[in-house]
Amino acid sequence: MKKRLAAALAAASILAGAVAPATAQTFDLQSVFGLNTPSIGPSPKLWAERVKLMTGGKVTINVHGAGDFVPPFEVFGAVSSGALPMGFDWIGYWANQIPVANLVGSMPFGPEPDITLAWMFKGGGLEIIQKAYDPHGVVVLPCHLVGAEAGGWFNKEINTVDDLKGLNMRIAGLGGKTLARMGANTQLVPAGEIFVSLETGRIDAAEFSAPQLDVGLGFQRVTKYYYFPGWHQPSSWDSIIINKAVWDGFDSDTQQVMREACFANISWNLADQVNAQAEAIKTIRDAGVDVRRFPDEVLLAMQAAAKEVLAEEAKNDAIFAEALDSLTAYMDGVGEWARLQALPRD
């Protein structure tokens, strides 16, 4: 009996050695978002879980929330310098360092999620934007595709273009530059400070994300109006960013696992977003918020201003111009498919 037990233990030991990783590695990742932020918060944790599973435990990534190591808007610099090996972001936050991040993060009147997804991985988008990250020693993995946002939360009605003048609004990216051109006072407020800024009247309006995320942050308790559509961000990317030296330390199989884990993340999050919006909008209405659409004349004025902003940004940065030309051409080229397939609606 003892011999059989010893033999069984020896066999189990050999088997464990065959499947266990030769050298396990552990890395820290800090998100720019709190980990309890609806939808976006859990995203890097889901990615990390998939990486660990798909590497058979060879790579463990400990995910930390906003501010655990550095302030949220310093994550890119920390990853670039190597102070952090990895981060999770909304791409548009790094527009000061990488102008094209503004386009990828929020192109006003830009493509819907399916076109955005196709351009990034089939239309040459990733190759273009990685060129902008290279000088900073950062590898970007688009890892969470955000669907269309809402137009934002307001404590005053928007009936005409003039109603935007003097408006104090939290809005990021190119949408912020567009509204500033139209006379609004725009500013970037971290996600965790938006509620208090609205509640205290420091700002009159704010955009953050889609209803699923917005309702979880409680904005319906401190605003009167919720406007659609999300003209400033019909789709957007959150990403995993990895220090280049750390990335180069992974073998090619592990690098591919990380990419594949992002593809799984994108699929899961798109389904989650579509599933959650109707209930979120109902919750917002039940809280007494007036859910509206911007008037068409306001949207057309926004579109005209956005075109001017995009043209100016393209003049100032060659990679931004390359990406804008590529994405615009891609939207036009694949757009015929949607037009041919369009069905009549009652």
User: Is 97 flagged in the annotation as binding?
Assistant: no
φ/ψ of 63, rounded to 5, equals -95, 130
User: Is 73 flagged in the annotation as binding?
Assistant: no
Q: List strands edge to edge, sheet with 236-243.
A: 59-64, 25-31, 86-90, 236-243, 138-146
User: Is 149 flagged in the annotation as binding?
Assistant: yes
User: Is 207 flagged in the annotation as binding?
Assistant: yes
Residue with tokens 């009247």: 201
> Which residues, other chains included, contact 20 with Cβ-Cβ below 8 Å and sequence gap of 6+?
56, 57
Other C-beta atoms closer than 10 Å to the C-beta of 308 total 12
> Which residues, other chains included, contact 170 with Cβ-Cβ below 8 Å and sequence gap of 6+?
186, 187, 188, 189, 194, 197, 203, 205, 206, 207, 208
User: Is 88 flagged in the annotation as binding?
Assistant: no
Binding-site residues, in ranges, read 149, 170, 207-208, 233
Binding-site residues for substrate, in ranges, read 149, 170, 207, 233
Binding-site residues for Na(+), in ranges, read 208
